[in-house]
Amino acid sequence: MFLLRLIGSFALLLSPLGVARQYGNLPPLAKVMRGVDVSHYQKQIEWDSVAVKEPIDFAFVKATEGHDYVDSLFCRNWDALRRHGIRRGAYHFFRAFGCGEEQARNFLQNVEYQAGDLAPVLDIERTDGIAPEIMIEEAQIWLHAVEKELGIKPIIYTGLHFYENNLKGHFDHYPLWIARYADEAPLLTTGKRWDFWQYSNEGCLEGISQKVDLNVFPGTPAMMERLCWYPPTTETAEAKVTP
């Protein structure tokens, strides 16, 4: 079911003309990894069923929001994904009216990373009535604090239009996860290439009672490794403390 929907959504994209126009050298379907992202809105997920019946390669889980909110099902989802061997990532829903430092602390205190987990994600998709320049400044504080603590660049999640209207040109050196619900992949006016594409919010999967977001990563597991967290080596740790 999931695979059939994915093939349908990529039918145009994977044609020679579609590839050239939308993503350059996008790998063939066999090299596209499939994933979901979830939060308490999906209620309690039967990950046993998902792991057996749905061919997903990765999943992002909502961990925190603002300076003090923790998703009620984060720990359950986070632990289940590890148990079933599904590559996992955690995201923080950013509130523009909040302090970036406090929001970073909320995330870091509630997410325990293990080797091979996907880099942390900053979900930034609304201004909350705050001036865009303030939103960007606080988001940069979050990004810097999390990168300093974990030693890996976070991924930025946002919608295509929000990116174009508010974020483009500010976070070009961060990995990018773009939401665009269409058969054609996102094409950014900056020329920046996305790393993940959320192409639908209408997914129906065994084991998940509510509709769920569907995502793809245009590459292989080995290519995804560059977006994963690993503990620092002895040499890296020593380099950090060298005067």
At 82, which CATH number?
Answer: 3.20.20.80
Number of other CB atoms surrounding residue 165 within 10 Å: 11
**84 phi/psi in degrees, rounded to 5:** -95, 5
**What are the pLDDT digits (tens) for 209-218?**
999 999 999 9
Phi, psi angle pair for 208, to nearest 5° = -120, 115
**Rounded Cα distance, 32 and 41, in Å:** 26
Q: Which of 125, 147, 149, 184 is catalytic?
A: 125
Q: Using one digit for the tens of pLDDT, what is the confidence trace for 5-50?
A: 444 444 434 433 233 333 334 445 457 899 999 999 999 999 999 9
Our answer to whether residue 125 is catalytic in this structure is yes
pTM for this prediction: 0.84
For 87, phi then psi, to 5°, come to -55, 130
Residues of the domain holding 167: 2-241
Question: What separation in angstroms does the CA of 183 have from each of 1, 2, 9, 77?
Answer: 17, 15, 5, 29
* Domain tally, the chain: 1
3-state helix, strand, coil in the chain (%, to 5): 40, 20, 40
